[in-house]
Structure formats: C-alpha cells, structure tokens
Homo-oligomer: A and B are copies of this chain.
Amino acid sequence: MAGQAEAAAAKGKPEAKQSLTFVLVHGAWVDASFWDETAAEMRKMGHTVYTPEYAGHGGDKNTQVTHEQVTKSVADFIKQKDLHEIILLGHSFGGSVIQKTAEQVPDRIKLLVFFDAFVPLDGQSVADQFPAPVQELFGNLLKTSGNNTIMLPFSLFRDVFVNTATLEQAQSLYRKVIPEPAGPAFQKLDLKKFYSLQLPKSYLFLTEDAVLPQGASGWHPGQSSHLGMFRYIEGTGDHMTTVHTDPREIADKIVQASRD
C-alpha cells in the first residue's frame, strides 16, 4: 500500500479517491439550503454528504431556541442515521455548534473542520468573538426586532456578508435571509470537554471574508488559534457568496481540509 502510494506519487498519478462522510452545519441567517451547490459538487466527487437542519431554522419558527436545542438537532441527526467516522464541518456560527456536538458524539467523529467559523473559548459566547462595534450593532438590531431575533439590513448584508457578489446575486441571496433567533449566539458555553478532546481539526479561511476583520481579531489567526494545532487551508471568497457561485472551488478546499 505504502509502496503503491509512493509509486503513484512519484509518477504524478492522480490521488487515490478517498470517499469521506461529511456532516455540514450551516451558520446564522440561513438554512440547510446554504449547502445545496457545494454538497452537490462534493457528491459528484464521490463523497457522502449530510446537511442537517437545526432547531429555530428551516421549518422551525421557534425564536426562543437555545444553543442546547440547536446542538441536540445535529447530535440526534448523527445518532439516528448512525453515522461514524464523519467529517463534522461548521460554518460561521456553526463552529460553536460542532464544538458542542463533538462533546456529545466524539466517538463518531473523525475530524472537525471550522470554515470561517467561530471557535469560542471555554466560558465564552459566539457574540464574545465580535469586535465591540459589531456587538453594539447587533444589540441595537435585537432591540429593534422586538421578538428576540436579529435581521440583517440589506446594506450590511451586501457590503460585509456578500461583498464579492454582483447586485443581482446579493439581492437573490438576501431574499432567503431569515431573522436569526438571537439567544444561542449570546449564551456563554461550557466548552471544557471540547478542549479536552483529542480530535484532529482543520481551519478553512477564505481571505475576502470580511465579517470579522483581518488579523489577530479575525477568523485566522484570531478564531483559528483557539484550536491549538490544526491544518490550515486557505481559499478565495467571502462569507456567503462563494459557496453558491464557486461551489467546486469550495468543495475542493473542504476536501483538502478533510482528507487523511
């Protein structure tokens, strides 16, 4: 096997296809359809891909949902399907969801992938990761809604979440944005067990993602460094456009972050 691989590598032969099992966990303001194009590309590449919906999203209109309920949705999905050796990937807010899910089903997980994702430290909330002006902005949007949700104004969505999109793409994506139940992002999370797990981890960062500022307060190395040792993979794109407009590139990067 080793000799075969070496020969293949030496001759520049294509890599032996490895069929992986993925569970992709979306972030805030979207539902599981966030993954449609990217999951389709990954399936074409021979992988098995699940995109579970979670509490307070998709069909569930409960705006009082908790982080525990969100996590339970994902953990229950994995247990009910009896999945093993999974690559559990979280995007954005989904980073905190895979942290808590990993605490519940560690033996079913082969690798965790954080994709432009929040990685709160033990005792922190997702909102604790925001720069102060963003915390203030979201606090105001929360008060405005009057129903414990936060809706993104189009100008903010267009410039910060889909900065590389055309106007048509931005408008099309904005039509699908749903007011986000605000509770889970502000809950302080007990992550002691997560930080004691020995699971391998990768961080995928798209360099035009401007939801967090670049650098020490940003996705990488700001959030990524919370992981300790991890595999770093870098791509081009922004927070919410590129999964839809360049899904093949995103699928390739996810596989780079996930293969053995």
Give the interface of A toward B (CB within 8 A): 2, 5-6, 8-10, 15-16, 18, 133, 155-156, 158-160, 163-164, 166-169, 171-172, 175, 200, 202, 207-208, 210, 213-216, 218, 220-221, 225, 228-234, 236, 256, 259-260
The answer to whether A168 and B230 have CB atoms under 8 Å apart is no
Residues on B with C-beta less than 8 A from A225 are 213
- Copies of chain A in the complex: 3
The answer to whether A260 and B167 have CB atoms under 8 Å apart is yes
> Bound state CA distance, A177 and B124, in angstroms?
40
Closest-by-CB residue of B relative to A133 is B228
Residues on B with C-beta less than 8 A from A259 are 166-167
Closest-by-CB residue of B relative to A256 is B164
Q: Select the residue from A15, A155, A168, A218 with max chain B CB neighbours within 10 A.
A: A168
Q: A5-B168, A9-B169 are in contact. List 15 more A-B contacts (CB 8 A).
A: A5-B171, A6-B168, A9-B171, A15-B168, A16-B168, A133-B228, A156-B229, A160-B231, A163-B231, A163-B232, A164-B233, A166-B259, A210-B232, A214-B221, A218-B221
Q: Which one, B155, B160, B168, B215, contacts A221 given CB within 8 A?
A: B215
Residues on B with C-beta less than 8 A from A256 are 164
Q: Which one, B18, B207, B214, B216, contacts A167 given CB within 8 A?
A: B18
* CB contact under 8 A between A172 and B221, given known A164-B233, A233-B208, A260-B167: no
Residues on B with C-beta less than 8 A from A163 are 231-233
Residues on B with C-beta less than 8 A from A230 are 159
* CB contact under 8 A between A172 and B214, given known A160-B231, A200-B159, A232-B208: no
The 5 closest A-B pairs by CB, nearest first: A210-B232, A159-B231, A9-B168, A15-B166, A5-B168
Closest-by-CB residue of B relative to A203 is B210
> Bound state CA distance, A233 and B221, in angstroms?
20
Closest CB in chain B relative to A255 CB, distance in Å: 10
